[in-house]
Structure 1
Amino acid sequence: MQYFVYGRDRAGAGELKESLTPEHWTFMDGYAAELIARGPTLTPDGEDTTGSLHIVDLPTFEAVKTFAYDEPYYRGGVFDDVLICRFQNHTGGTMWDFANAVDGLNRYLVHTDDAARSLSSPHIILYGDLSALDSDEHLGRAVLLEAPDPESAAVLAQAAPAQVHPWTFGGRR
């Protein structure tokens, strides 16, 4: 089962997060085969992180709790909170399957409470419905995409209202 795990950074935790990044990457190395998408959300200028997104394929709720709460950023106190939802991947792929990067476009995580709808664009990296961990209650959807600006990202995701976060592919650099 796939899960959407999004830790939102605590205000002022930038230096702490930076110090824990090597440990975080080592932890994620243990999940390399299970990761569907990963990466930080960013401030509008792209200079600082605001959160850490992971979409991961794990067999049980217990396994995703271990993933989320044993993660070094969480253990170290970087996050204000962590959102964990089931994720129904409508693209069937991973972020690494996306090969359409266009110069001049930025990447975004768009999160909305909207009902599911079909999306079709070469700028969609992946998207899916979010649901509760213990029921089929629909909680919204998440879209990873590229667009020129946040407003265009919301339009491409057909999401209004929406939370639009600048985002980038994660992993070792």
Structure 2
Amino acid sequence: MKYFVYGRDRAGAGELKERLTPEHWAFMDGYADELIARGPTLTPDGEGTTGSLHIIDLPTFEAVKTFAYDEPYYRDGVFESVLITRFESHTSGTMWDFANAVDGYHRYLVHTDDAPRELTSPHIIMYGDLLALDSDAHLGRAVLLEAPDAEAAAALAQADLAHVHPWTFGGRR
């Protein structure tokens, strides 16, 4: 089952997160075959991080809880909150399969709580519905995409600009 796991950084956690990054990456290496997408959300200037996104395929809710709560950033207090939902993907493959990168475009996570809708564009890296852990209740959607700027990302994802977060591919593959 696919899960969307999004940890939001707590204020002032930048130095701690930087110190823990090698441990975080080593932890993620243990999940390399299950990861579908990963990477940090960024401050608008791209100089700092605001969170850490993972879309992962794991067999059970217990497995995703272990993934989310044993992760070094969470365990050592980097995150203010962690959102875990089921993820129903509307694209195939992983973020590493994305082949339509455009020079000068930036990457974004658009995370909304609105209704499902079909999106089509060669600039969409991945998107899907966010579902409750214990039912098929629709909680929103997540879109990973490339666009020239945040306004274009909001338009492409058909979302409010407030739901657009600068994001980049993370980790190693």
- Give the match for residue 143 of structure 1: 143
Matched, 1:159 2:159: yes
Question: How many residues are paired up?
Answer: 173
Instruction: Return 5+ residue gaps in structure 1 as ranges.
Output: none
- TM-score between the two structures when normalised by the length of structure 2: 0.97
Q: Aligned-pair distance for 1:141?
A: 0.1
Deviations 1:98-153 (A, max 9, x none): 01110111000001112111111110000000011011110000000000111110
| d(CA) in 1 for partners of 2:141, 2:30 | 27
Instruction: Return 5+ residue gaps in structure 2 as ranges.
Output: none
- The residue correspondences of 1:75-154 to structure 2 (distance < 5 A) are 75-154=75-154
- Give the match for residue 48 of structure 1: 48
Amino acid at match of 1:8: R
| d(CA) in 1 for partners of 2:162, 2:95 | 21
- Give the match for residue 21 of structure 1: 21
Deviates further, 163-172 or 78-87: 163-172
Deviations 1:41-99 (A, max 9, x none): 00000000000000000000000000000000000100000000000010022100101
Question: Which runs of at least 4 in structure 1 moved beyond 2 Å after TM superposition?
Answer: none
Query: Could you tell me the percent identity over the aligned residues?
Result: 84
- Does the 8 A contact of 1:112 with 1:161 survive in 2? no
Q: Aligned-pair distance for 1:161?
A: 6.4
Q: Aligned-pair distance for 1:172?
A: 4.0
| d(CA) in 2 for partners of 1:70, 1:162 | 30
- Does the 8 A contact of 1:38 with 1:170 survive in 2? yes
- TM-score between the two structures when normalised by the length of structure 1: 0.97
- Does the 8 A contact of 1:106 with 1:146 survive in 2? yes
- Does the 8 A contact of 1:9 with 1:79 survive in 2? yes
- Does the 8 A contact of 2:150 with 2:161 survive in 1? no
CA RMSD, Structure 1 to Structure 2 (Å): 1.2
| d(CA) in 1 for partners of 2:31, 2:104 | 31
Deviations 1:13-43 (A, max 9, x none): 0000000000000000000000000000000
| d(CA) in 2 for partners of 1:141, 1:169 | 19
After superposition, the Cα gap between the structure-2 partners of 1:112 and 1:162, relative to the gap in structure 1 and judged at 3 Å, is farther
